[in-house]
Amino acid sequence: MKAVLTIAGSDSSGGAGIQADLKTIAAHQLFGESVITALTAQNTTGVFGVMDVDPAFVGAQMDAVFDDIRPDAVKIGMVSSPAIVRAIADGLRRHRAESIVVDPVMVATSGSALIADAAVDALVAELFPLAAVITPNIPEAEVLAGMAIGCADDVERAAELIAARCAAAGETSPNPDAAPRVPAIMVKGGHGVGDPDAADDYLRMAGGEHVWLHGKRVHTENTHGTGCSLSSAIACGLAQGFSADVAVREAKAYVAGALAAGLNLGRGSGPLNHMWRYPGPAPC
């Protein structure tokens, strides 16, 4: 059985973060492992507290995982401080991790900030050069590219600016194995820049090839953990040997199905139905 490691924050309500990642990995019939970077007190209505894990202990968790059941792919989600970013990057380099997906989580679905501003620069400098795929949504892409995004052309330009920033980070990286490297960049279209009935994502491959991935929007307020689940599903595809573009397409289809399944829990933006492909009780 292939193993996938998620390095992310814990969501006490179970809809996002580590919990959503492990559910996604299980739904793909792979073995899930976890390194927790932060504890959050949150539910479908918001985030009420964040407590970071000591960076040294983040590294200790990584060592324990890699020294026993080595993961075939790694997904990185919420990392709220530069020190934790560096601990993760050191661990990935130390263990020569492969097939890394970085979801640059900055804001929760509820609108709560999840990352310090200084950690964004650390993400780009330390983790992007190690990644095979990164998955910013439109607000995150705006931060990473330093520009506003209002149309499809803006999305494409932002992806190019992010790619250039990744290349520059790779060239200045202290790790010779990482320089220079540009990951595949998936700019997620869930926030929309055009047709309100479309869910179109943009994929810029590492070699510069690019494609729009068109889809129909699932009109639902229950989107808690969508980004976490998508990036974990991409990691599952990479663990199984899929190319980045195939892994992204398969992950997009999985998340669309999880949204369309119509789970309705909580008083805010509810979670997805991660096990929608399997028979079971009817959705709530």
Catalytic residue among 225, 236, 252, 270: 225
2 is catalytic: no
Question: Rounded to the nearest 5°, which phi and psi values hold at 48?
Answer: -110, -5
CB-based contact 233:24 (threshold 8 Å): yes
Say how far apart CA 151 and CA 247 lie, in whole Å.
25
Catalytic residue among 6, 109, 223, 236: 223
CB-based contact 99:136 (threshold 8 Å): no
- What is the Cα gyration radius of the chain? 17
Say how far apart CA 38 and CA 72 lie, in whole Å.
23
Catalytic residue among 77, 226, 236, 270: 226
Chain centroid to Cα 198, Å, comes to 21
24 is catalytic: no
228 is catalytic: yes
Catalytic residue among 228, 236, 237, 270: 228
Which segments of the chain does DSSP mark as H helices, in order?
17-27, 55-66, 82-94, 117-122, 138-145, 152-172, 226-239, 244-260
Catalytic residue among 188, 189, 190, 236: 188
Catalytic residue among 32, 227, 237, 270: 227
188 is catalytic: yes
75 is catalytic: no
135 is catalytic: no
> Catalytic residue numbers?
188, 223, 225-228
